[in-house]
Structure formats: structure tokens, C-alpha cells
Amino acid sequence: MTYDIALGAMLFGTVQDERRSFEILDHFVEAGGVWIDTANCYAFWEHPSGFGGQSEELLGRWLARRPGVRDRVKISTKVGCEPTVAGRFPETAEGLSAPVVKNGIEGSLRRLGTDHVDLYWAHKEDRRTPLAETVAAFDELVSAGTVGALGCSNYAVWQVERAREIARANGLTGFTAVQQHRSYLRPRPGTRPTVVHRFGEVSDEVVDYLECHPEMSLWAYTPLLGGGYTRADKPLPPEYAHPGTDRRLAVLDEVAAETGTTRNHVVLAWLTGGSPAAVPIVGVSTVAQLREALAGVALVLTAEQRERLDSAT
């Protein structure tokens, strides 16, 4: 079975040691998982050097020790957020100039030990660099065969559309995916989730844009709020402390009881079966957590259950 889910490898090689990371990766592939998501900057904030690359390096070692597995998985990685000075992020983030994009993919391919990645993301917008320069630099990677498809993460909607228009006008390959934060619960109006970049939250405008452009896919990061739905030791961040959260959690619990599952299962089923449908990126630290995530995306909600979940505000 193939799942509409991506395994988040952000902490592999730093917080997650190699043995546990390999165990999770092996189980993911054995269960039919395909997409693995990482970035060139993962996880600079966890490494003594202050720089990233550890996640891609671990994935490269895993791929090297599993002959044939590269043909069974698809790799999604990113460029744009690696700090150029240790301890000074985001003010020294590398950005998305043409040289950075070129050097970024070369470094990622070297660390991953592969000759291509299947999806390459602009990690966050860079307004110091002309958008046309970034679009052209990404197109060159597709033309060279080192990248299969392109996506942008943490972009304002108008920047997404402008980048796509530049690509259309110049016969270049444009973005066909966005990666933003999306979960069932919503932060208090006027705030944004703690772990999200300025334009990282999926707003109604993002939803409308994606519904009007069905060729665009949505990838959802931090879909389970870092364990906040189910773990007492992982309380929800303060921006979720409002009456709407109580109402949505009540319906979430109703549907979980009806389906004999958990809040996490229902959240993932809501994401994958919604409009727009999302590919949740799940970061797990145990095989048991991975099994729960896979079961969640396999769960099918009824139209009535989905309507109740959607209408709880």
C-alpha cells in the first residue's frame, strides 16, 4: 500500500541517533511509504557546529547501506534556510540567489549520495534576491535532470503566484507544490503558531488559491502539533488557548470514539481527505508513532464526520 504521507527526517542524525533513524526508515519503506522530507539546514539548531546537513548525511548513509531502496523512495529536500554564520539565524540565512541554489543542490546530492532529488523546495522566501533570479535558478536544475519537481515553502500567496507567472511567461518550470503548516486546530486570530515562519500558516487565502489551482499540491508540516493532541507532557502552545480549540477538540474526540481511533488518526485523515487534500509530513521518534501515523492516513472519514469537523469553529 502507498500512503499519502511524507516521513519527516528533520531530526535524523542529531536528536535521533543512527540506529533508531534507520529502524524508522526501514519500517516506513516496508509499510509502503515513499516520500522522505528533509532540508540542507536540518538540524543546525541541534548540532554543536551551528550548521546543518546532518539529516541528509544520515539519509545518504542509509541509502548506501540499502541497495535498491533509492528506486523505492522519493526524496524531498530544501534550500534557503541554512545559516551562513553559526548562531545567527534568521538574519544570516543563505537565501535563494542563483549561486546559493546551485551550490545548495550540489551539497544536498553529495550528502544524500544520489544524482537527483524528486522534489526541491525554496525553504522560505528571500526578498533580497529578485524572484526572477530564483525562478530561473530552480528551472536550470530541472533542465539538468538533477531535480524532478519544484515547490516553495513559507511563501506569501502573492509571491507564489508571481513566481509561477514569471515561469509561465518565460517558458520555465514553475512551482507545483507549497509546504506550509496545517493542522486541525487553529491558532487564535491575530497570532501564528510558534514554530511557523511569517507566511508559513495555511490561511483561508492559501486554501482558496490551492482550490483554484488543482495542479498545486499541499504539504503540511507539524500536522500533529508536536504531540499536543495526545500527550500530556506536550501541552498545546499558548496561541491555541481559546474557545474554538475546546469546540474542535470536542468534535475530534467524538469522531475518534466513533472510529475507534485517536485524535492523531482523525487529524491525519482530515488532512489527507480534505479540500485541498494535504500530504502530512510526520516527524516520529519511534516505530510505534510511525505505525499510528500510517494508520491515520489510511482512515477514511464519512462525509457527515468531516462536515462536523469542518463546522466546529
Q: Can you list the domains of the chain with their CATH numbers?
A: 6-239+266-301 (3.20.20.100)
User: 202-219, pLDDT tens digit by residue?
Assistant: 999 999 999 999 999 999
- pTM confidence score: 0.95
User: Do the strands 177-181 and 35-37 form a parallel or antiparallel pair, or are they unpaired?
Assistant: unpaired
**Cα-Cα end-to-end distance for the chain:** 34
Which residue type does 95 have? G
Q: With bands split at pLDDT 50, 70 and 90, how would you rate the model's confidence at 2?
A: low
Residue 76 pairs in a beta bridge with: 37, 119
Establish how many alpha carbons lie within 13 A of residue 222's alpha carbon, considering only the half-sphere containing its beta carbon: 18
Per-residue burial over 213-248, b = 16 or more CB atoms within 10 Å of its CB, e = otherwise: eeebbbbbbbbbbebbbeeeeeebbebbeeeebeeb
Residue 313: predicted pLDDT: 82
| Number of Cβ within a 10 Å radius of residue 97 | 17
Q: Please give the average per-residue pLDDT across 185-211, as a whole number.
A: 90
3-state secondary structure of 118: strand
Q: In whole angstroms, what is the distance from residue 172 CA to residue 142 CA?
A: 9
Mean pLDDT over all residues of the chain? 96
Give the Cα separation of 275 and 186 in Å (integer).
16
- The CA distance from 21 to 10, in Å, is 11
Q: Please report, rounded to a whole number, the percentage of residues in the chain having pLDDT higher than 90.
A: 93
Query: Mean pLDDT across the stretch 15-25?
Result: 97
**Per-residue model confidence (pLDDT) at position 3:** 61
Nearest to 138 by CA among 125, 126, 121, 123: 121
Segment 91-147, tens digit of pLDDT: 999 999 999 999 999 999 999 999 999 999 999 999 999 999 999 999 999 999 999
Contacts of 197 (CB under 8 A, 6+ apart): 124, 154
Q: What is the DSSP string of 226-237?
A: GGTTT-TTSPPP
- Residue carrying C-alpha cell 546532518: 54
pLDDT of residue 7: 98
Eight-class DSSP state of 240:
G
Positions of E strands within the chain: 6-8, 35-37, 74-79, 117-122, 147-153, 177-181, 217-221, 278-282
Place of cell 464526520: 305
The span from the CA of 181 to the CA of 277, in Å, is 13
Per-residue pLDDT band for 190 (boundaries 50, 70, 90) equals: confident
Nearest Cα residue to 180 out of 213, 217, 218, 215: 218
